Amino acid sequence: MDIEDDTRADAPDDTVLCAVQGRTGVITLNRPRALNALTHPMVLRIAEALAGWERDRGVDQVLIRGAGERGLCAGGDIRAIHDDAKAGTRASAEFWRDEYRLNAYIARYPKPYVALMDGIVMGGGVGVSAHGSVRVVTERSRVAMPETGIGFVPDVGGTHLLARAPGLLGTHLALTGSAVGAADALLCGLADHFVPADRLPALTAELADAPAEEVLARHAAAVGPGPLAEWRGWIDHCYAAGTVEEIVDRLHAQGDPAAKEAAETILAKSPTALKVTLEAVRRAAALGELEAVLDQEFRVSCHALTSPDLVEGIRAQVVDKDRTPRWSPATLGEVAEQDVARFFAPLESPRRAGPDRGAGE
């Protein structure tokens, strides 16, 4: 999610910089004041560059990175989504369609796709990185799918990734929206390699003329365990409960301060988004293929546009920044099964709107 307001009028051709360095195509997300939050033109530009390099025999691999010192990408431009939801228009649905197609394209890209997940990597930032074949984190990495905090549900293939994490670690991250560091990103399968941040300039320079596997062998390092490894026991027990209410009860009953904190974190999120998220992650585990999960996420995201919690959550976190959202319904007990089921219902449009295997081709 875009956690800052960037009022600068970005020119369409400078928000994504694409260049070939040696035999590597380099994509630089270039909105540092907005933590490189994605816009629709940026998504289309990335897809265009990838398609061109897929056909270019002079390009052996691709690297994606973020401009500035604070992160790869904080997600999608949620202020624009807020305005779209309030107006009842379809710009967000068009953006998601192309974004999710890009996520699927990255996942099956035929050349090594190296993502430097340095700094903040959230929401849509996870979508353009964690589906890649070579994913690098640093000691500065903070990786998260924080959507429940704005009345939304993890998307960009996030429910697919979280459903595949060991045990129920992914369910914990989906409901709490908590950010993880390098060790836990590796544990959860969101990244592949740890490289100290001060080695990134050398790594990037060497990628111009050498394969990613060879370069990483020189720069990757070991990293100690993160907190999730220690918490795995109570996480797997608590999140195996049937409902969000039961999960919260189990967390409170653990007697572990970290479990209690997780419970309180969950209770601050949108009750509707929490219940839909739990259902979405569990359905994603059964769906298996990323494309099928992205289709589901597209339906959920489009239905979320008509949910009052999405507008309210973004208002509280980004527009007014009072951090006091007024969720509707206000409690978990008030969210009925039919309220959850409607998020997974087919869309009204007869035209297939979700991502497809031909994206980027």
Annotated catalytic residues are 76, 124, 147, 155
Spell 227-266 as b/e; 16+ CB within 10 A means b: ebeebbebbebbbebeebbebbebbeebeeeebeebbebb
Euclidean distance between CA atoms 197 and 299, whole angstroms? 38
Rounded distance between C-alpha atoms, residue 162 and residue 350, angstroms? 30
What is the widest separation between alpha-carbon atoms in the chain?
59
What are the backbone dihedrals phi and psi of residue 56, each rounded to the nearest 5 degrees, phi first? -85, 115
Q: How far is CA 257 from CA 111, 224, 262, 264, in A?
A: 45, 22, 9, 11
For the record, the structure tokens of 195 come out as 């490289």
- 141, 182 contact by CB (below 8 A): yes
Other C-beta atoms lying within 10 Å of the C-beta of residue 133:
18
Measured distance CA(350)–CA(281) in Å, rounded: 26
